[in-house]
Chain A
Amino acid sequence: DAKTTQPPSMDCAEGRAANLPCNHSTISGNEYVYWYRQIHSQGPQYIIHGLKNNETNEMASLIITEDRKSSTLILPHATLRDTAVYYCIVRVNNNDMRFGAGTRLTVKP
């Protein structure tokens, strides 16, 4: 299984874009990149996923490099409610999906 590397923590100013990086240099051709987040002590929440094309939804954008060895989750206008731990996961599907330590994003006023 491909492993992911994320910075342990990041800060972002409210209203600015938050760019969260993830390295997954051993990703296989059929593995997707998934992003989830966990606000305080709640259960994780799905954000977005992609295979090789950039993706955008109402929550965020996902930029995947052409070689697929890294990706960036972009929250275009971060709010205080976006303060959370963000998990980048590389898997074929939900079966046996594993969450690492993630990146703790703090949005500051």
Chain B
Amino acid sequence: NAGVTQTPKFQVLKTGQSMTLQCAQDMNHEYMSWYRQDPGMGLRLIHYSVGAGITDQGEVPNGYNVSRSTTEDFPLRLLSAAPSQTSVYFCASSRQGVVYSPLHFGNGTRLTVT
């Protein structure tokens, strides 16, 4: 049982390049989300999804796109990377339902945009 898997672990981009951060979970969780964490700060929610085909914006969605075509995967796309997007990105997942299911986090992707 791998839990939440994020790839790559590290990435360096040049300004203007595009890339996709991958997130996969094998727990059949309906809910998935993406956060970014800048140095010395808390996590800020980028986008989230409550199921396949459903996505919604968090507090800092600008510059990022998401889609949810399967229950397992929730990729985060940077269409034109900017230095302000240098951060650590965390993906999380959980069940949806009456009984609370805690968020399970991946180990993060450390992104540097030069």
Contacts and interface: CB of A to CB of B under 8 A. Distances in A.
Given A44-B43, A87-B42, A102-B42, A95 B108 contact: no
Question: What is the size category of the interface that chain A forms with chain B?
Answer: 20 to 34
Interface string B34-52: 0100000111110010100
B interface secondary structure, majority: strand
A44 B50 contact: no
B102 to A, nearest CB: 3
B59 to A, nearest CB: 6
Contacts of B102: 46, 49
Interface string A78-101: 000000010100000111111111
Contacts of B90: 43-44
B101 interface: yes
B88 A41 contact: yes
A102 B43 CA distance: 10
Given A42-B108, A98-B44, A99-B35, 14 more contacts: A41-B88, A42-B107, A43-B105, A43-B106, A43-B108, A44-B92, A46-B102, A49-B100, A49-B102, A95-B50, A97-B33, A98-B45, A100-B42, A102-B42
23 contacts: A41-B108, A42-B108, A43-B4, A43-B108, A44-B92, A44-B105, A45-B105, A46-B103, A49-B102, A85-B42, A94-B31, A94-B94, A94-B103, A95-B31, A96-B48, A97-B45, A98-B45, A98-B58, A99-B35, A99-B43, A100-B42, A101-B41, A102-B42
Interface of A: 32, 36, 41-46, 49, 85, 87, 93-102
